Structure 1
Amino acid sequence: MTYPTSRDWIFSVKTFAASMLALYIGLKLELPRPYWAMATVYIVSNPFVGATRSKALYRALGTMIGASAAVLFVPPFVESPYLFSAVVALWTGTLLFLAINDRTARSYVFMLAGYTMPLIALPSVMDPAGIFDLAVSRTEEIVLGIVCASVVGGAILPSRLAPTLIERTDAWFRDAAFYAKETLSGRMGGKTISACRQRLAITVNGLEFLLSQLAYDHTRPDVLARAQALRGRMQLLLPIMSAIGDPLAVLLGGKNPPPPGLEPLLADIIKWFDEPLSTRIDESAPADADPQADALRSRIASLQPDPDGLRTWEGALLSSTLWRLKQLVDVWQDCRALRVIITNEQGRWQPRYRHWRLGGTQQYFDRGMLLFSAGSAVLAIFISSSLWIASGWNDGASAVVLAAVACCFFAALDEPAPQVFAFFTYTCLAVVLAGLYLFVVLPTVHDFPMLVIMFAVPFILIGTLIPRPQFNLATMLTAVNTATFISIQGTYDANFLTFMNSNLAGPAGLLFAFVWTRVTRPFGAELAAARLVRSAWRDVVLSASTRPVADHKNLTARMIDRLMQIIPRLAASDDQRHPAIDSFRDLRIAFNALDLRRLRRRLHDADLASVDRVLEGVRAYFQQCVERGVRQPVPASLETSIDLALDRITRRGGAVQSEAEAQVHAAAAQPGQPRPVPVRQIRDALHALVGMRLSLFPETLTPGLPPEPEPAA
């Protein structure tokens, strides 16, 4: 067991001090429910100042919006309880849908506005005339807790988010170095590699939310921009690694010996990946300067086959592999340089890896699943509210409120039921702790200092576990619910029957929410992953079709973002045809199709016809996968089409240099002649076709050599 660190103890003591300050001020101001200020401190507090500030700001805004909605909707609908239940459910569901469509800290505004409205509105149905006073007092109590948490957290030994960002990226760098070593050694399968791939994707996904809080950490805009750029480069590394894996498996594991110089190059790249990360900037050189990377790029260029070598499959395969190795070196150098700049908060950066598809910002959301999740929450709130109305239970509003909170908290999860049950479990624990305090401890307390002493030991011990992800939910719920259920007031007034009647409603509502989510959302991550994969197929269809693409950069960003969502949902496996590896191949097919579409304008007519057949075959195949809902066997005709296109392009690669020279002379003599096709364009088309061939047919990675070109007439 790992004991709490000094940072955990400092956070816990600070949070407890802020909660006691909020409770003291609330009692002095004679607020109706001062314990809400205490509970709010535990809700918004975070070990890092930036996270606390962002959560505090968004909670204040969400509370004000939800309270305003309660004031707006209670008077006209209170006489129609079932209609009122529908209004509450629709309000919460709509705001929940907006919240789960935003993966930044800003989503907290919508989440809070969604469930604050029933939190204030439902208990007021027995006294609708007092809804305005209730909304104002609840807002005051929550804002008081927010202010105390922010002031104490920022004034006393504040912790910044930036060091945590570096810590998380350092873990990613270690995993990336291991993944590179395995991939560049020709190993793609295995549970260890698959688990590493999952960790890489999870780290990248987690940084998205962290970076949205970094702006509240007094981080300079240029450093924040560099952090965003680092995450973007981290996203690119996995697809590039995957693109290298298949050709290396052929070059290193085939019957023929590897090309001369390739294995030493790979060994040196692995060694470079394993080098310790730099932490200092050399003032005499740019932050992105790396002589080793420059040397590796020079060696990659020296191994490139000449135009005649491109006439063979081995030459085309080697050229494609070296091209992607250069991309890998560029991206890794960018990652290392950006980390140094973020660590030192200074330095200039010029990106090494550039591509015409980079620069998009679009994210992928499975709107159907998100709408279903929000709709499930709407029905849960409406049905639980209807049951409360039919039962006539005066204190049953708490059941509906906690059911709404649970449905909102975990709506974005693929499997919310286990977390809802954990919510139920720790709420029951909080009821027990609150009962012990209320009927055993508090009768002996006669002043506020004694109250602080009685609260100190359990709340500080619980607080040390809040910063740990594995304990965060349990400890935060225990602290918040215990503070709420004790219901500290200015004078001691406890009745056991009243306590049980009011505080058993919450667990009853959570038990209903658990049963409801278990029944309505039993699908798990498998369904979510399958839907993501089918959506990826639709984007492959778009990429290979003749339909116009509105924005190639945003299409690329959306496809990569979706891939980062697929990988964590798939269990680690040693199968080389695992869905995660196939999803990487689908992404590469889409990218290669986009490259071929872009190059069509620069190809000769004969080459263009063969490329178009490939694109049409890819489009038709993935359209069939979409229509049938499962991956289909790739038709042999598509393999033939790709091999014929490779034949045309490899012939062109072998003859292009002399052809280009002849066309240059002809163009000088006759300005009306068509422009020659550059060698780079031929190589790009060749690389796209090789990548598509390997991605679609990884089991048959050695196609027949293209026939020798016929002698010129």
Structure 2
Amino acid sequence: MIYPTAREWLFSVKTFAAAMLALYIGLKLELPRPYWAMATVYIVSNPFVGATRSKALYRAAGTMLGAAAAVLFVPPFVESPYIFAAVVALWTSTLLFLAINDRSARSYAFMLAGYTMPLIALPAVLNPAGVFDLALTRTEEILLGIVCASVVGSAVFPSRLAPTIVARTDAWFRDAALYAKETLAGRIGGATLAACRQRLATTINGLELLLSQLAYDHTRPDIVARARELRGRMQLLLPLMSALGDPLVALASTGRPLPAPFEALLADIVAWFNAPLPTDDTPEPVADDLRQRIADMQPGPDELAAWDGVLLSSALWRLKQVVDVWQDCRTLRVIITQEKGSWTPRYRHWRLGGTEQYFDRGMLLFSAASAGGAIFVSMCIWIASGWNDGAGAVTLAAVAVCFFAALDEPAPQVFTFFVYTCLSVVLAGLYLFVILPTVHDFPMLVLFFAVPFIVIGSLIPRPQYSLATMLTAVNTATFLSIQGTYDANFLTFVNGNLAGPAGLLFAFVWTRVTRPFGAEFAAARLIRSSWHDVVLSASTRPVADQRNLTARMLDRLLQILPRVAATGDTRHTPVESFRDLRVAFNALDLRRLRRRLGADEFAALERVLDEVRVYFQRCLARSDRQPVPASLETAIDTALERVVKWGEAAAAEGAQPASMSRRLRRDALHALVGMRLSLFPGAAHPPGREPAS
């Protein structure tokens, strides 16, 4: 283990100072539970000011909403305990569903509102008349912790979020350079490329939450917008590189050496990918030079009649897209770093601009319902047992099932929650019965707290230790139940604080039973959903907004990649998911182009789309990827032949401008070749379209 860095020690000391300040003010104000203010500091604190502020804001909003719900529901339902249990479960599961349907920072408000209601309502069932006072004081204690964490985090050596986003994007740039090197060398598989692809997807997914917090970091709105544009371009590079790999592999498989200028172009693009990032937004002449060389190498109309001519044209077309996206990424990174500069997109496409995300609503609904079921059953057990302190078991069970509801397999994390809660009980008992009896004033209390809390807090910024250390700090502060005067009873401590671990153990068993499936099941559902969109893309049904359809498919792809990598599933590899996406994109291109060609070409393209739709419907019907039928390959080859002949006839007849007919012909050929390479990777060239000799 690497020792904590100076930045991590600074964060821990700041958090501890804010926690002690919150505890001191809570004691001075004689709040009933000042330890809640201390615990709240550890919950909302983050190494970055923007993240702390957003978390504090949404925790405050969620706390007040949950407290209001407790005041609203306790009086009318407290005399009907099982109905009350259903109300609490329904409230929490509904708010949880809203939370996991939102991947921005504001989801925290919904989650807090969901489990704050039982945190306040359940202890009030024995004294329903005091629920308003309990809700008010709990809100005051939490708001006190929020204010202390925000003030100290902002005033004492604040750490901005923007440099961290830049650092993460720089790591992405290094991985993207490696990915480009491997792809342009004609390698589309292997452990190196798979690991690189996984890191790229993880970085892009991790930026989503950070960008939602960036607005709270005193970052200008235009820079936030540029950061979102950068993430969008980063998202596009993966499928574009994947689409480029297939024609490069197909060109190599023809047995003919690649043209020397083309090989030099590939080498220069790899060198540009590895070049240092620019320090200003001055246009890069190397990008313009690469685009000109790509344009100069484009095969002529006669060369497109040969298979390797079409492959070369397709590869060059993809290369230009990659160059444009990479230049956009480099320019946007400069603007974000320097917080100045202008940007004109180089990569433009009619499908760009969508904002829709993909959510597996059925799975999210099941997750929320499972959490609600855990709360209802645990409340029924508590009611039936008559255990006065059993409310603590229900509340911690509610927190656990809400915290990890969005995970594919929450049970291991719930068990971690249980383990570190037990550790917190032991640590709190040690303090309460061995150390605190010797404490006579607040400064001495601070000294006794300093070493363990600062050491634990130094590990919170590290993702691999964040959950365990945060839980230990928060639960220890809560279980200590520090008041204005020392009053500790061992039996009361044991009875009250064993309820929490008991509730977590129930939550672990519940999630293990009700959610035994993991990433493989989630990946399978995502893949089937992607097949639905391929069917839609290849059908005659109207698509309300193709830009949002594209955005949804890209977002889902980035959800599939880490899950497939985690399962090691050899039936549905990441490469297959990329190819499914490309089939959908090529189908959309063919839908757009078919009516602009002749009648015979329209019929040929219609047959291709019909065959694609029928094939993916068969995959959906059998819930598994099926062998691609030979009839689909025949349909694509026939369409390729028709489009080539149409281009020759259109040029000869002069029915439309030559430049337009050439562009339509090229676009149709690119879509058909992309479709063929995606569905039949490694297949031989089409009959009658041998490589040029």
TM-score (norm 1): 0.95
Aligned match of 2:198: 198
Aligned match of 2:574: 580
Distance, in Å, in 2 between the alignment partners of 1:213 and 1:98 is: 19
Give the one of 516, 522, 533 matched to 1:522.
516
- Report how many aligned residue pairs link the two structures: 691
Aligned match of 1:606: 600
Query: Relative to structure 2, which stretch is displaced further, 546-555 or 598-607?
Result: 598-607
Distance, in Å, in 2 between the alignment partners of 1:400 and 1:116 is: 12
Q: Tell whether 2:689 aligns with 1:700.
A: no
Distance, in Å, in 1 between the alignment partners of 2:82 and 2:189 is: 56
Aligned match of 2:141: 141
Deviations 1:658-713 (A, max 9, x none): 443x655xxxxxxxxxx9953111111110000000000013143233399xxxxx
CA contact (8 A) 1:195 1:572 kept: no
Letter in 2 for 1:232: G
Shift of residue 652, structure 1, vs aligned partner: 2.9
SS of 1:347's equivalent?
coil
| Structure 1 residues 575 and 370: alpha-carbon distance in aligned structure 2, compared to 1, 3 A threshold | closer
Shift of residue 577, structure 1, vs aligned partner: 7.2
Deviations 1:318-370 (A, max 9, x none): 11110000000000110011000000000000000000000000000000000
Aligned match of 1:471: 465
Distance, in Å, in 2 between the alignment partners of 1:112 and 1:152 is: 23
| Structure 1 residues 44 and 701: alpha-carbon distance in aligned structure 2, compared to 1, 3 A threshold | farther
Aligned match of 1:312: 306
Shift of residue 654, structure 1, vs aligned partner: 4.1
Distance, in Å, in 2 between the alignment partners of 1:138 and 1:663 is: 75
Give the one of 425, 437, 440 matched to 1:431.
425
Letter in 2 for 1:440: V
Shift of residue 270, structure 1, vs aligned partner: 0.7
Counting only pairs closer than 5 Å after superposition, residues 284-295 of structure 1 correspond to structure 2 as 287=281, 289-295=283-289
Deviations 1:625-662 (A, max 9, x none): 111111111110110000000111122344543443x6
CA contact (8 A) 1:540 1:587 kept: yes
Counting only pairs closer than 5 Å after superposition, residues 341-356 of structure 1 correspond to structure 2 as 341-356=335-350
Counting only pairs closer than 5 Å after superposition, residues 436-455 of structure 1 correspond to structure 2 as 436-455=430-449
Aligned match of 2:531: 537
| Structure 1 residues 177 and 572: alpha-carbon distance in aligned structure 2, compared to 1, 3 A threshold | farther
Give the one of 467, 476, 482 matched to 1:482.
476
CA contact (8 A) 1:603 1:677 kept: no
Give the one of 363, 376, 379 matched to 2:373.
379
Letter in 2 for 1:306: G
SS of 1:516's equivalent?
helix
| Structure 1 residues 402 and 333: alpha-carbon distance in aligned structure 2, compared to 1, 3 A threshold | same
Q: Tell whether 2:563 aligns with 1:569.
A: yes
Counting only pairs closer than 5 Å after superposition, residues 638-657 of structure 1 correspond to structure 2 as 638-657=632-651
Distance, in Å, in 1 between the alignment partners of 2:379 and 2:568 is: 48
Letter in 1 for 2:440: H
Q: Tell whether 2:46 aligns with 1:51.
A: no
Q: Tell whether 2:488 aligns with 1:505.
A: no
| Structure 1 residues 181 and 355: alpha-carbon distance in aligned structure 2, compared to 1, 3 A threshold | same
Aligned match of 1:688: 671
SS of 2:609's equivalent?
helix
Q: Tell whether 2:673 aligns with 1:679.
A: no
Deviations 1:36-59 (A, max 9, x none): 000000000000000000000000
Shift of residue 578, structure 1, vs aligned partner: 5.0
Distance, in Å, in 1 between the alignment partners of 2:285 and 2:650 is: 33
Deviations 1:411-444 (A, max 9, x none): 0000101000000000000000000000000000
CA contact (8 A) 1:23 1:37 kept: yes
Deviations 1:207-244 (A, max 9, x none): 00000000000000110000000000000000001001
SS of 2:461's equivalent?
coil
Distance, in Å, in 2 between the alignment partners of 1:531 and 1:601 is: 34
Deviations 1:283-303 (A, max 9, x none): xxxx16111111111111111
Q: Which runs of 5+ in 1 are unaligned?
A: 282-286, 665-674, 709-713
SS of 2:68's equivalent?
helix
Letter in 2 for 1:595: D
Distance, in Å, in 1 between the alignment partners of 2:447 and 2:373 is: 44
Deviations 1:57-95 (A, max 9, x none): 000000000000000000000001111000000000000
Give the one of 322, 325, 333 matched to 2:327.
333
Distance, in Å, in 2 between the alignment partners of 1:575 and 1:7 is: 40
Aligned match of 2:116: 116
Distance, in Å, in 1 between the alignment partners of 2:636 and 2:248 is: 20
CA contact (8 A) 1:230 1:335 kept: yes
Letter in 2 for 1:242: S
Distance, in Å, in 1 between the alignment partners of 2:567 and 2:177 is: 20
Q: Tell whether 2:95 aligns with 1:95.
A: yes
SS of 1:491's equivalent?
coil
Question: C-alpha root-mean-square deviation of aligned residues, in Å?
Answer: 1.5
Aligned match of 1:402: 396
Give the one of 605, 617, 622 matched to 1:623.
617
Aligned match of 1:711: none
Q: Which runs of 5+ in 2 are unaligned?
A: none
Aligned match of 2:36: 36
Letter in 1 for 2:188: M
CA contact (8 A) 2:250 2:682 kept: no
| Structure 1 residues 471 and 562: alpha-carbon distance in aligned structure 2, compared to 1, 3 A threshold | same
Distance, in Å, in 2 between the alignment partners of 1:301 and 1:620 is: 37
Distance, in Å, in 2 between the alignment partners of 1:370 and 1:318 is: 45
Distance, in Å, in 2 between the alignment partners of 1:573 and 1:397 is: 38
| Structure 1 residues 29 and 663: alpha-carbon distance in aligned structure 2, compared to 1, 3 A threshold | closer
Aligned match of 1:188: 188
Aligned match of 2:126: 126
Aligned match of 1:670: none
Letter in 1 for 2:421: T
Shift of residue 573, structure 1, vs aligned partner: 9.8
Distance, in Å, in 2 between the alignment partners of 1:372 and 1:572 is: 22
Percentage identity across aligned positions? 76
Distance, in Å, in 1 between the alignment partners of 2:335 and 2:652 is: 46
Aligned match of 2:222: 222
Counting only pairs closer than 5 Å after superposition, residues 169-184 of structure 1 correspond to structure 2 as 169-184=169-184
Letter in 2 for 1:584: F
Distance, in Å, in 1 between the alignment partners of 2:430 and 2:451 is: 14
Letter in 1 for 2:46: N
Letter in 2 for 1:449: P
Aligned match of 1:21: 21
Distance, in Å, in 1 between the alignment partners of 2:517 and 2:262 is: 47
Shift of residue 505, structure 1, vs aligned partner: 0.3
Letter in 2 for 1:566: I
Deviations 1:367-393 (A, max 9, x none): 000000001001100001100111111
| Structure 1 residues 314 and 653: alpha-carbon distance in aligned structure 2, compared to 1, 3 A threshold | farther
Letter in 1 for 2:137: S
Shift of residue 262, structure 1, vs aligned partner: 1.6
Letter in 1 for 2:419: T
SS of 1:399's equivalent?
helix
Distance, in Å, in 1 between the alignment partners of 2:515 and 2:167 is: 36
Shift of residue 253, structure 1, vs aligned partner: 3.5
SS of 1:215's equivalent?
helix
CA contact (8 A) 2:519 2:567 kept: no
Distance, in Å, in 1 between the alignment partners of 2:18 and 2:346 is: 47
| Structure 1 residues 246 and 663: alpha-carbon distance in aligned structure 2, compared to 1, 3 A threshold | closer
Deviations 1:487-539 (A, max 9, x none): 00000000000000000000000000001111111111000000000000000
Letter in 2 for 1:70: A
Letter in 2 for 1:447: D
Letter in 2 for 1:388: W
SS of 1:361's equivalent?
coil
Shift of residue 574, structure 1, vs aligned partner: 9.9
Shift of residue 35, structure 1, vs aligned partner: 0.2
Aligned match of 1:461: 455
